[in-house]
Structure 1
Amino acid sequence: MTVLLLRHGRSTSNTAHVLAGRSEGVDLDDKGRQQAVELVDRIGELPIRAVVRSPQLRCRLTVEPLAGKLGVEPIVDDRFAEVDYGEWTGRKLGELVKEPLWSVVQAHPSAAVFPGGEGLAEVQTRAVAAVREHDARLAEEHGADVLWVACTHGDVIKSVVADALGLHLDGFQRVSVDPASISVIRYTTLRPFVLHVNHTGAPLTSALTPAPPSGDDTPADDAVVGGSTD
């Protein structure tokens, strides 16, 4: 099963340098709305079977054009919600860098728990569980490898990518996830394969078109020794 982890388009909080968190009514700015429209062409003709999203408004607005084109109703899953930043919510980033917890978030995020909110380790646990459960559900429904979209938030995506790469959560700040970027992970019974991280450019269609049979006996779950033969 292959998930396209989509970060919402640029929001008004992004441009105001404010930590939006779960604040109500955080909209996309003009560029973010354009990114949502452009997402339709970036996905191209990929056979997306499901769209799952965070409950935050900026995620709903990001997937609306795509869901309309696909003719699917997005599923809202609270496990893809933005991090609960607690007392940090709504504050300027310029203020937060002065907080002692800021350095913990940068160097040891596995130990970071936001005052009145949740810890980043909790975020990773809930998000990875959500991805795995939707993968299992879609595999049962379709009986084959399918593509699906999960629209969520930067730190949530970074935590899932870190898990797929086998990184300790303390290394998740090494992963970049820009607004409207797509990170692609194919899960198999043996391991996840990270196909894209922070993809913001050309359509994804060619990269995710199923490859023809290799002509050898390499199991589909195995990595090719020596690298891809394509």
Structure 2
Amino acid sequence: MRLLLIRHGQTPSNLKHLLDTAEPGPALTPLGQQQAAALPDALAGEEIGALYASTLLRTQLTAAPLASRTGLEVRVRDGIRELSAGDLEMRGDDLAIETYLSTAFAWSAGNTELRMPGGENGVEALRRFDAVVEEAWGTGAETVALVSHGAVIRMWVAARAGNIDVDFASTHALQNTGVVILTGSPTEGWRVQEWAGRSVGPEAGTPEESGPAGEAVD
């Protein structure tokens, strides 16, 4: 299966660099709406057979133009929502961001019993995302698109893809409506083919420092 993991369009909280993970979450900014509207043309070469979005409003708004173009129903699933920030919710200070990211990537590295302060642990986060990927695999579609969130995409890919490690995922930006393309299956494993438009292989490129939801840090 070809798996397209798409980050949602820009939100007001992205502009403020806030850890905004609770439901239903904010809508898209005008730029976010433009980004969502551009997705069908950007993915015109993909034969998408099933389309998913999380329970947060921003992913459903991002998926809507793709649904309109493809005629697919958007399957809304809680399992691909953003990593819960717990006690760090709506904070944007350096300590909160560092705690959030270091916890998420500790899960990718195997320390799945570690718990986000006041939130979920890695076992729970990976299990819920895995469940939606399993469901997508079960549709029989050759290509499936999941519109999700920056931190959970990066965490899950680092944990599950054979050719991506924590260092790569934690230092490569995933901008709004950025796409990570993987091939494989839940039984045989996954390999990243493209990360935000760049082919992934022996020469993956120079890492970029990035912020809590994948925004580049100046």
**What TM bracket, shorter-length normalisation?**
0.7 to 0.9
Q: Shift of residue 8 of structure 1?
A: 0.3
Whichever residue aligns with residue 32 of structure 2, its letter is G
* Residue 143 (structure 2) pairs with residue 147 (structure 1): yes
Q: How far did 1:90 drift?
A: 1.4
Count of residue correspondences? 194
**1:98-177 map, 5 Å:** 101=99, 104-105=102-103, 108-109=106-107, 110=111, 112-135=114-137, 137-139=138-140, 146-162=142-158, 163-165=160-162, 172-177=169-174
When the two structures are superposed, what TM-score results if normalisation uses the length of structure 2?
Answer: 0.77
Asked if structure 2 preserves the Cα contact closer than 8 Å seen for 1:80 and 1:127, the reply is: yes
Deviation of 1:169 (Å): 6.0
Question: Which residue of 2 is the match for residue 37 of structure 1?
Answer: 37
C-alpha contact 2:180 2:194 (8 A) present in aligned 1:
yes
Structure 2, unaligned runs of 5 or more: 200-218
The CA distance in 1 between the partners of 2:36 and 2:129, in whole Å, is 23
User: Quick one: structure 1 residues 115 and 191, their matched pair in 2 at CA, closer, same or farther if it must change by over 3 Å?
Assistant: closer
Counterpart in the other structure of 1:179: 176
Q: Distance in 1 between matches of 2:105 and 2:145?
A: 30
Q: Tell me the residue number matched to 2:20.
A: 20
Tell me what 1:5 maps to: 5
Identity of paired residues, percent?
28
| Alignment partner, residue 199 of structure 1 | 197
- In structure 2, C-alpha distance between the alignment counterparts of 1:2 and 1:192, rounded to whole Å: 10
- The one-character-per-residue Cα deviations of 1:45-98 (angstroms, maximum 9, x if unpaired) are 42211101101000011011110111111001111011111111112234625x
Distance 1:127 1:72 in 2: 21
User: TM-score, normalised to structure 1's length?
Assistant: 0.73
Query: Which stretch shows the higher mean deviation, 112-121 or 74-83?
Result: 112-121
Q: Distance in 2 between matches of 1:179 and 1:103?
A: 18
Q: Alpha-carbon deviation of 1:41?
A: 0.5
Equivalent residue for 2:67? 67
